[in-house]
Amino acid sequence: MEEKEISQAVIRRMPRYYRYLGDLLDEGVERISSNDLSSRMNVTASQIRQDLNNFGGFGQQGYGYNVKFLYEEIGKILGLNTTHNVIVIGAGHLGQALANYVKFEKLGFVITALFDVDEKLIGQSVRGIPILALAELPGYVKSHRVDIATLTMPKSEAASIANELVDLGVHAIWNFAHVDLELVDRDTVIENVHLADSLMQLSYNTVKHTKEKGAAEEPQSGR
């Protein structure tokens, strides 16, 4: 089947569709029109139709979308119809928080091991998931299927571990270190999560909003 290149902007919106459709399923909704989905998701109906048309449509003119079908199809598009084995490098607070997040497992992302250099952590476990020594990483990757590696260690070590992972054959990296890992390798898919960037964006919008509000509340002068 000929597949056209789908923009990352569309891909970024798909998990949100999946989330809303999951909520509709939980509410027992069987069909939904693109207009109803549109007002619920606060995007235009035409945007929804365009986005879904990238994958062949799914809607029947005048009948709206079958919620369960669309949910499952988007799940397949996102690769959620299969299990992904995930390891976490860095078993500090964030690594442990991710290992404790049962939601990921429900979506098919199964964390199988954490790795750390801290002797106090090695040998412990989080929700039954073992914390192993970082030195064991090569042996582990050779003897277990690892689909995704999550990096939660300090920025200074992230690039070298990412390169080691690529050499070991792990080609999907979920990076929480405060550095972009865009250029490691052409064959590797990287998703950067920059929590501090997100906080700065919130801060910008807050400051801007406060300014605008201040300006609006200012008594009109003769200028």
Instruction: Note the residues at the interface with a copy of itself (CB under 8 A).
Output: 8, 11-12, 14-16, 18-19, 42, 77-80, 84, 92-94, 96-98, 100-101, 103-104, 107, 109, 147-148, 171-172, 174, 178-180, 182-183, 187, 189-191, 193-207, 209, 213
Name 223's Cβ contacts closer than 8 Å, sequence gap at least 6.
Answer: none
Nearer Cβ to a copy of itself (14/89) = 14
Q: What is the DSSP letter of 148?
A: E
- Are the beta carbons of 59 and 34 closer than 8 angstroms? yes
Q: DSSP letter string over 60-93?
A: BTTTBEEHHHHHHHHHHHTTTTS-EEEEEE--SH
Smallest gap from Cβ 84 to a copy of itself, in A, equals 6
**By three-state DSSP, how is residue 9 classified?**
helix
Q: Which is nearer to a copy of itself, 144 or 209 (CB)?
A: 209
Of 135 and 199, CB closest to a copy of itself: 199
Residue 221 CB, shortest distance to a copy of itself, in Å, is 15
Q: Which is nearer to a copy of itself, 50 or 60 (CB)?
A: 50
Provide φ and ψ at 101, rounded to 5°. -85, 90
